[in-house]
Structure 1
Amino acid sequence: MQLESGAVVEGRVTRLTDFGAFIQFENGETGLVHISQIAHSFVRSVRDHLEEGQTVEVKVLGRDEKGRLDLSIKELLDEPEEMPRPRAIGRQSPQFEAKLRSFMRDAKERTTGGGGDRKGGKKGGKR
């Protein structure tokens, strides 16, 4: 069996690591499914998705410069219709925005000489 880029083959998970899973094929060759190629969603732990001894179907992505097989499980899965979006930060309350504008206006007046010294303390020299 020749494992070429684009081939879809079945193999057995022989070892799990923090960065992926090693898959062995009938011909004795082994390749790596990197953690980023396990699922479309974020994979915190490879062990949450795969077990040693499990038979899986993988797609051969190609070979790296050292001739090692790069594999993917994710490429064979249907893509979710819509990827989850990060939760948007809600608009601040109008009261907060009014207080912030007032604070900024007062700060500008203090720094441009609109009354009092810059430190807001007593007038008339250093302490």
Structure 2
Amino acid sequence: MSIEIGSKVKGKVTGITNFGAFIELPGGTTGLVHISEVADSYVKDVNDHLTVGDEIEVKVISEKDGKIALSIKQTVEKPEGQTGNSRRPRQGRDDRNSKNGRPKGNLKPKESFEDKMANFLKTSEENLSTLKRSKESKQGGRGSKRG
């Protein structure tokens, strides 16, 4: 029996690993259900959802170089309008701003370009002088003899 991509078939769990479960399909072929395709919710351990010997329905996702990728979660029919993403949308996205429309927290008023440039030059000069002093102290400074 040839396995067609997109078809749903019955299979038997023959082995469970930390990354998924091996399923024996009709015709003696074996496919893998990756841990991410076991259930719609987060799966920490495949053993919580499957046991060896279980008869399950799987959907063939892909077949490449004799390796068959299967999915259990894609066999479950979802009501219309529901997407594959089981996460709920975030609530209250507008809570980042306070009641007066300004962002929460202690934010400085916007600096002009000239102010930013002056601050940048000042910190750059301070960093360069610190670096120069550090380098001279490591070299031994004036008059030290080497060797």
Give, as a single letter, the amino acid of the residue that structure 2 aligns with 1:51.
T
Gaps of 5+ in 1: 106-127
Q: Check conservation: 1:40, 1:79, Cα contact below 8 A.
A: no
Question: Structure 1: how far apart are the matches of 2:105 and 2:20?
Answer: 51
Question: Structure 1: how far apart are the matches of 2:48 and 2:90?
Answer: 23
Q: TM-score, normalised by structure 2?
A: 0.56
Percent identity, aligned pairs only, is: 41
CA-based RMSD of the aligned residues comes to 3.1
Whether 1:52 aligns to 2:40 is no
Gaps of 5+ in 2: 110-147
Q: Check conservation: 2:18, 2:46, Cα contact below 8 A.
A: yes
Question: Structure 2: how far apart are the matches of 1:55 and 1:70?
Answer: 17
Alignment match, 2:26:
26
CA shift, 1:78, in A, is 3.0
Query: How many residues matched?
Result: 108
CA shift, 1:26, in A, is 3.0
Q: TM-score, normalised by structure 1?
A: 0.64
Task: Return the structure number with greater helix share.
Answer: 2
CA shift, 1:99, in A, is 8.0
Specify the structure having the higher radius of gyration (Cα).
2
Tell me: higher relative CO, structure 1 or 2? Use CA pairs within 8 A at least 6 residues apart. 1
Give, as a single letter, the amino acid of the residue that structure 2 aligns with 1:29.
T
